[in-house]
Chains A and B, each alone.
Chain A
């Protein structure tokens, strides 16, 4: 008799139910989900889950909620294709499959005593939000916390109410800038790199740890600019995005030179991959 095929648990989706679908932007929603059976693994900030819209497909989505909050697991999703569109369309009570959490987390616990600088571009704030919440929960462990957010336009700023709370409460120093203003916008205008000097004010660059997430071009320019300002390349981390499929480093779709982004990333230390990012074929 032939033994039944054993499917590794990492490849087997668990059933989850949507408890809330919160619209964030015109094409971005945050799904709050809970397992139908069993316990919730909230993961660690920076990790991702594979979300499966039944009958449509599966995509990698970063965890974007509070890692110490077990009331629901949050994923912020932009509707850019068939699967993300199907996930964004799920309403309360709908079910979906989930595998995970996978990947490397932001190295927050190693940054005691340092000046933390979070840099988020566009939807890059979603994977960073978990780390920011964790950092705020252990606020006294860090000398300072700064958050620099860049968005395309004022209407594309993610989590505006939470940003206002964080800045208003004085828990962190927030700098917000948009690439394109609209009439009436009274905030800063320009790409995030133009705000780096301000974000580092009062900090010894050698004591800064930068956690950067956004479009790859933005991250590259940010990290290079930070290096120019004296922030060690070994104290900068970015979250990479590639074509994640299996999430276990087995299928090879997300290969990035000697690494697989799903297994060895998505969070990489900048000095480990800076040279590779200059190679267009990778």
Chain B
């Protein structure tokens, strides 16, 4: 079986695959392959957001937990998504817990490395916003619908 390079994996991703070849190579310089088993924590709320998880396959639950309640899933993200945005916003902390619901394969980009490359090469930073922002906007739009309570009353 042929082993794919990180650049090849990134070029197959629905969002990062839109970058030009040079930019993909630059991103690949910050990246490594990661795998999580079902049930494994990918990140915990409040930790330094050191990695950007570019999800290739699998499902991830974004959870809220507190001392008196069991973890509750607020959103699920999937292969083709990019997990989290805390890595881009100072002080660079993760905002929610994330747990693998299934086997998850992802490419993890080192956040500090990525920020450094975007600072050094504004065109790379621009591509990141150009291709990632629509994805973020779609998720925000979906979350607005989620809180709009479209389906009527409930007795939970």
- Chain B residues whose C-beta falls within 8 Å of the C-beta of A150 in the assembled complex: 151
C-beta contact mask, B74-94 vs A, less than 8 Å → 1, else 0? Answer: 111010100000000000000
Query: Which partner residue on chain A sits nearest B71 by CB separation?
Result: A183
**Other-chain contact of B76, A153, A184, A188, A215 (Cβ < 8 Å):** A188
Query: Which partner residue on chain A sits nearest B148 by CB separation?
Result: A217
- Chain B residues whose C-beta falls within 8 Å of the C-beta of A218 in the assembled complex: 145, 150
CB–CB B73/A181 < 8 A: yes
- Chain A residues whose C-beta falls within 8 Å of the C-beta of B72 in the assembled complex: 181-183, 185
Q: How far is the CB of B145 from chain A (nearest CB, A)?
A: 4
CB–CB A185/B154 < 8 A: no
CB–CB A156/B73 < 8 A: no
CB–CB A214/B142 < 8 A: no
Q: How far is the CB of B134 from chain A (nearest CB, A)?
A: 10
- Chain A residues whose C-beta falls within 8 Å of the C-beta of B101 in the assembled complex: 186
CB–CB A153/B71 < 8 A: no
Q: How far is the CA of A215 from the CA of B69 in the complex (A)?
A: 31
Q: Does A266 contact B (CB under 8 A)?
A: no
Interface residues of A in 138-175 (CB under 8 A from B): 150-153, 155-156
Q: Does A210 contact B (CB under 8 A)?
A: no
**Other-chain contact of A182, B61, B78, B156 (Cβ < 8 Å):** B156
Q: How far is the CA of A80 from the CA of B151 in the complex (A)?
A: 13
Q: Does A272 contact B (CB under 8 A)?
A: no
Query: Which partner residue on chain A sits nearest B59 by CB separation?
Result: A188
Interface residues of A in 6-61 (CB under 8 A from B): 26-27
Q: How far is the CA of A156 from the CA of B71 in the complex (A)?
A: 20
CB–CB B145/A221 < 8 A: yes
CB–CB B151/A193 < 8 A: no
- Chain A residues whose C-beta falls within 8 Å of the C-beta of B149 in the assembled complex: 152, 179
Q: How far is the CA of A155 from the CA of B156 in the complex (A)?
A: 7
**Other-chain contact of A193, B69, B75, B76, B145 (Cβ < 8 Å):** B145
Interface size class of A (residues with CB under 8 A): 35 or more
**Other-chain contact of B75, A26, A78, A186, A189 (Cβ < 8 Å):** A189
CB–CB B150/A215 < 8 A: yes
- Given contacts A190-B76, A191-B142, A198-B78, is CB(A26)–CB(B150) below 8 Å? no
- Chain A residues whose C-beta falls within 8 Å of the C-beta of B78 in the assembled complex: 198
Q: How many residues of B contact A (CB 8 A)?
A: 30
CB–CB B155/A155 < 8 A: yes
**Other-chain contact of B150, A122, A183, A190 (Cβ < 8 Å):** A122
Q: Does B122 contact A (CB under 8 A)?
A: no
CB–CB B152/A122 < 8 A: yes
Interface residues of A in 99-132 (CB under 8 A from B): 121-123
Q: How far is the CB of B68 from chain A (nearest CB, A)?
A: 11
CB–CB B80/A153 < 8 A: no
Q: How far is the CB of A66 from chain B (nearest CB, A)?
A: 24
Q: How far is the CB of B136 from chain A (nearest CB, A)?
A: 13
- Chain A residues whose C-beta falls within 8 Å of the C-beta of B75 in the assembled complex: 189-190
Query: Which partner residue on chain B sits nearest A228 by CB separation?
Result: B138
C-beta contact mask, B124-156 vs A, less than 8 Å → 1, else 0? Answer: 000000000000001101110110111111111
Q: A122-B150, A150-B151, A155-B155 are in contact. List 18 more A-B contacts (CB 8 A).
A: A26-B155, A78-B152, A122-B152, A151-B151, A152-B154, A153-B154, A179-B146, A180-B146, A180-B156, A182-B72, A183-B72, A186-B101, A188-B59, A189-B75, A190-B142, A193-B141, A215-B152, A221-B141
Contact surface of B with A, Cβ cutoff 8 Å: 59, 61-62, 69-76, 78, 80, 101, 138-139, 141-143, 145-146, 148-156
Contact surface of A with B, Cβ cutoff 8 Å: 26-27, 78, 80, 121-123, 150-153, 155-156, 177, 179-186, 188-191, 193-194, 197-198, 214-215, 217-218, 221
9 nearest A-B pairs in the assembled complex, by CB-CB distance: A122-B151, A183-B70, A152-B151, A181-B73, A215-B150, A191-B145, A189-B73, A188-B76, A194-B142
